[in-house]
Structure 1
């Protein structure tokens, strides 16, 4: 199809089936068509020629029109391949593959109990029924595509033109590395994909984790590999928080990412009285300041007798005397202290009246 005019192909497809969803040219020269409906696909399959001189053949894709799922089926281990396919034919199973697992005793790969089933339906079934068993099916997510020659992702060995690398140290393939090259190579491990101190086949590599996530998006959302990579990058950009800016801390001599500490409020010093007070505690004039000091001294004298109880704070504002009782006292103690304050106040008033009388007599 490399020598076929794209305009001719576009006119024939539009005439036979109408506008389709997607048309892509593959590396081997074939054309991949994605139709909107099943009737369009049936019409295109019947097409045999583009013109009297160009003959073509159109068929369904082997893998893109179906779905793959994984199931745990130990009851199939003793059955033959033909028997399994014949028994699951009515449930749209066209092929299956048995997954091999590594045996820890002899370090060899052996066939296990997991099976990959290929269904002819586009939608993956939730389960398959085998006589008395209902076997659950989960989506199959393939491993990331990795080249065994250069150890990089995205292609296979057939399409690779680079030189062979050691899986342990990521350097040029040397003589002491073989089938178990990570065990035979004595050099320190190094990853060629993420440039860290682990071997290139490690599943904990950040690059491998990203490639695994791309394959997951491709399998679950049924998109192409390019679209899966694009969606994965967009999700990484939205999920990561914005970078932190470096701020020079006032109390720190190094460069750090912590926030600068707020300045502590320094008290203001009054020049007249040489006393340190905050802005909220600053008195309005000198007389009120003296009265507050006298009240504090009086309160300390009045409460010296009760050592086991917290003191009572008395504030004289000039017009009236306010007593602030502690919250930890009982109601009985509060009543007694109120009575004592009243008697002290009455005695003070009597003394002041007597002094005023004495002054009037002297005059």
Structure 2
């Protein structure tokens, strides 16, 4: 197959991550410097990043400060969450919460009534037998994310971060791309700024680098392979991203003709040149740039035809 060089972050960026010890003495994986707490050290490509993080789900009551927390589950867990079972377990472990919701990426978003309730939620290790791998408190601070390119893969990112001028960079991360179905490091970096407006450029030493808005990869269901939702909310059939047949990718034969189950082309569903994927990328771009819902972005793209 020809080289597929679509820049992808491949991970959901809710914030910086910090290693923590679990009760069995295990140590989580340090993905960055603070924020998400990794209890199981799990590693999984989180594509789309859903930027919902609970915003817009709750109407705040006057004079009442709500505490929001996101619990992200281990990605090897394939247990569907029952609303009744989740509500019952949260009440047992935390008491009556303000509200809870499953986000598009499968994480559990909880609005706690008190700081004490938030602390209890932080200590929860599982919900309905699904193991929690990461946790994050959703704060009010505004951040923007942008991308610069042309940075060699050998560059020390910690030193580079300290050398950036033109914006307060809280986090820096190397983006990945796909070449011949393999994930490799790209020359692009994701920069997270502690600012509400994305800088147009940054300066590293004497060199200027334009900053473009970061557009997360389109959200794709790992069950039916269609875009715009995740497996936990999928009502479609299981489809293979390699050959398009109704089975899991691990059950696919080694020597089989690639076939996209979305467009019917002779390529895998992840191919960057796929017309269905390119449309999904466009929808994600419209959604991110205009800060609108996925459904609104779909209508906007359809109206541009």
TM (normalized to structure 1)? 0.43
Pick the structure with more strand per residue: 2
Higher relative contact order (CA 8 A, sep 6+): 2
TM (normalized to structure 2)? 0.50
